[in-house]
Structure 1
Amino acid sequence: MYFRQLPHAHSGAFCYLLADPCAQEAVVIDPHPDQADLVLAILQERDLRLIHVLRTHLHDDHEPCGALCDFTGATRIAGPGSSDTKACIVTHGDTLVFGCEVVRVLSTPGHTPDAVSYLWRDRLFSGDALHPDGCPAPLTTTDPGQWYDSVTRRLFLLPDETLVFPGHASAGRTVSTIAEERRRNPAFGATSRDGFITDTLARTAIPRDF
């Protein structure tokens, strides 16, 4: 297998490239449009063909990265209710294949209505559903109860050793495990559902610059 975590310098967001070198097929998760040239360079260097561009979620400051798909012929993948009208919509339990590798779709709405996470081998790509030791700022479309349930009733049921690769670094951390987050995450592991809802609604009401 081949795996790269690619940070975007300006936004701090992470893009992930997964590949089956034997079959020469790859998928990319949450690429920023500015990273298209980098992704293409890695594909060329490794002699890989891009099969899918996976999005964990989209909101106002995100772009669907259609140019990368147009250039490679890759299929855009997004969750139910995505604003990307050209994407192929996946739902919970769907699987995506590249070479001999399989990515499983986990529906994790809450931070955004269309949010999904992707499970590949022992690695979870959680987007903005779950960050190491916390969670991102809520949006006006955030449903806090749904968000809490997605994390605690779906992601936290994964095996302890599952590696959590988030959409952004949190307190400098770029990876965690389900066991760590279940035990010590202050937003989900160390508070009640009602407490999370109350705190999230209060944070949503605070004006922010996006």
Structure 2
Amino acid sequence: MHHDPKTNPNTINNILGLAQTVWKAATHPTKLRLGAKFGYFRVNGETARKDRVQIFLDTVDGNSYKDEDSLSQELIEKLQALRSAHYNNNNFYNEYPYAESLKASLAPVGIPKAAQYDFVKIVSTCAIGNGLGYKQGVDERALPIYEDLINRFGDEEIIIFCKLFEDHEFIGDLHKSTASNRAKTMADYLKGRTHNVLIQNVLSEIFNGHNLAKITLVSSFKTALGNLS
């Protein structure tokens, strides 16, 4: 009834008034089926129904239950918005709402493949910071969110992190000592989150690196990274 554009506004309001209570009692598969409706209506061009699903999911804090295709696109858009906030002026004060919005859209089952690289790169970039200012180049309000998101990295995401040191944009601020030290701390933390020795070897190279902006020129790093391929 809620998704039907013909349903009158009073009925819609009544449904939304009950929605949070009913949602809490719903099973996980039921929530996934409701979330999948967003993608179904989007693909089929049923804009009014799609928008109704969005309102419902916003009401119950259920955006993470959207189908993976829709969720991937949404995450990519939110990641790009966070990236823009990071590279714009006053990033120390502006990243938080974008980081919070990003976290709200994450699925409980993990990071969608299509958004994986952008997710690791942008979250890592923001968590490491730009090395400027008295706040270590990081939005302090957003930092706990970044730490929570990094805590979701599995081996696939950690491998992407290792390969980011070949990404010219990612290493752009790593010649600064503050950013470099934060990157090393992150590598050391991630080393404790994996049992894969090959990944651990690369993270050790990063932690012990003297110039992370040029670490790809170090033969031992290149060898360790090559072993991940």
Do they superpose with TM above 0.5?
Answer: no
Give the TM-score of the pair, scaled to structure 1: 0.35
Higher fraction of helix:
2
**Greater C-alpha radius of gyration:** 2
Higher fraction of strand:
1
